[in-house]
A and B are shown apart, each in its own frame.
Chain A
Amino acid sequence: MDNSGKKNNRRDFLFTATYAVGAVGLGATIWPFIDQMNPDSSVKALATTEVDISQIEPGKTVTVLWRGKPVFIKRRTQSEISEAQSVNLDELKHPEKDQDRVKKAEWLVMMGICTHLGCVPLSDKGEYNGWFCPCHGSHYDSSGRIRKGPAPTNMEVPKYAFIDDNTIKIG
């Protein structure tokens, strides 16, 4: 009785060990076939973009491509800055201080993509002196915050840094 119980346990152990090794092996085989669809090295190598901002006049916006998406870089005028900073946060659908959305008050850098369904909003349009999305009518203010329309959140601010006064590195 003891003996047969022991034998069963050994056999069970062998089965479990075999299935475990098989499962790990199968997983390790399948992973490369899934991972090959992730961004490859040549795509990752293009993951940062450097922009020269010395030629941008106050009040103007330039659009640059980063990871295949548009990024708005706006040099804001003093009136636009004070307008953005003076908004009462209670009025906002997605409350964020303007100071938290910029590194230097003069420069607004954000993804030029409407947070509703991904269209590119038009600059200097809409009821809030900022951006207006032509697809479904979202209005953004001079800080890129959603004020009116179907978009749920403010336009996203990407990771970026000032390398010097005239150059921004996005990503």
Chain B
Amino acid sequence: MSEQTYTPKSKFGKWFNDRLPLLSLASHLTDYPTPKNLNYWWTFGGILTFCLLSQIITGLVLAMHYVAHADMAFSSIEHIMRDVNYGWLIRYIHSNGASMFFLAVYIHIFRSLFYGSYKSPREIIWILGMIIYLLMMATAFMGYVLPWGQMSFWGATVITNLFSAIPLVGDSITTWLWGGYSVDNPTLTRFFSLHYLFPFLILGLVILHIWALHVPGNNNPIGIDVKKPSKDTVPFHPYITIKDLFALLIFLIIFSGFIFFAPNILGHSDNYIEANPLVTPKHIVPEWYLLPFYAILRSVPDKLGGVVLLFGSIFILMALPWLDSSKVRSSIFRPLNKIFFWVLVIDVLALGYVGAMPAEGLYLLIARVGTVYYFAHFLIILPVLSRIEKTQPLPLSITEPVLTGMPKAEFIKSDKRHV
């Protein structure tokens, strides 16, 4: 990397940089050698950074107008929507922004799964990413409680009751979380406080995530180690910055489509009814991005078992770098893993679908099969597959397949676009 050799040109720059090497950092970020075959699935890191900053800025604004009190929260949201200048816009950016954030993070995670970005030497990046994902879910959940509508209230009740499944201390923990004997004003005010705090924890972890990324450098669609810098790499600026910016603009067009044309399509209309502790809505569902986990929770006919599988389904991902022992990273060269990757994608989508449906009949059956398959994928299929799979030969460099015309249709196609 370049910071060892970098010296600022001006005298003041050198004086400053010797005391606080910000200019070295800027130079490192600018020149950071990036594999030249990165495809558009690699632009979601930048998109996610944008999402986080957008949520923090709009959230900061909303907190100026929101009142965290059980008696006033609901009407303060209407105040934001009707009275505050552009309040409707800022709130819709924030609420749809959460969905877009999760959409981007799911693409980012599945990209890592397909191209083996979680494998050595990038395990820490992967685990940091999973912690970020967990914090995102906690933040989104608590944010959803703040408008104090029916879905807010009953979502909070159901999720906090998960902890009551813990043997012996469950009830005490739930009471402690609530600050009372049910979800009420103390719950709302602490959720508001934590909802404000967590994004900054996420921001800190994102910095670590990027720091850890810059040690080995980016993985790439072929998944081989790349010498840096070499003819297989390009400087981050302007090549990747302009490409990330282009992808971000496409992403923003879709984002704006939701904000301006269908701002409530991803929400639930029951949340425009004020929280009522005496009446539970007929059909209670979480936001779409939590549905697969909701399906897993409901598929188990046992309170504790459901909660254990729910949390297990996320924590199992942290062990992924050790469950998959294949030395080959990219699924382009792993014919079996490629198939099972797509089966997993379909499985998660199916779980999401049945999570939105009532837990009965065929839906419940699909949820159970999907849950069993989800765990089987990580605990049985991957460990076995990674030992028996016959992988295809890897090229020696990113440039080689282009020059020698290796007969691998997939990556010749994917390579041509980027060379």
Contacts and interface: CB of A to CB of B under 8 A. Distances in A.
> Would you call the interface of chain B mostly helix, strand, loop, or mixed?
helix
A36 B87 contact: yes
B85 A36 contact: yes
Contacts, number: 34
- Residue among B86, B89, B90 with the most chain A CB within 10 A? B86
Contacts of B82: 41
Nearest to B93: A32
Nearest to B62: A36
B57 interface: yes
Interface string A42-71: 110000000000000000000000000000
> Would you call the interface of chain A mostly helix, strand, loop, or mixed?
helix
Contacts of A36: 61, 64-65, 84-87, 90
- Residue among A33, A36, A37, A38 with the most chain B CB within 10 A? A36
Interface residues of A, number: 11
B79 A42 contact: yes
Contacts of A41: 82-85
A32 B58 CA distance: 10
B84 A33 contact: no
Interface in B97-125: none
A32 B89 CA distance: 8
A41 B88 CA distance: 13
Contacts of B57: 33
B381 to A, nearest CB: 46
B85 A35 contact: yes
A42 B83 contact: yes
Contacts of B83: 40-43
Given A31-B86, A36-B61, A36-B86, 7 more contacts: A32-B86, A33-B57, A36-B84, A40-B83, A41-B82, A42-B79, A43-B83
Interface of A: 31-33, 35-38, 40-43
9 contacts: A32-B85, A32-B86, A36-B87, A40-B79, A40-B84, A40-B85, A41-B82, A41-B83, A42-B83
Interface of B: 57, 61, 64-65, 79, 82-87, 89-90
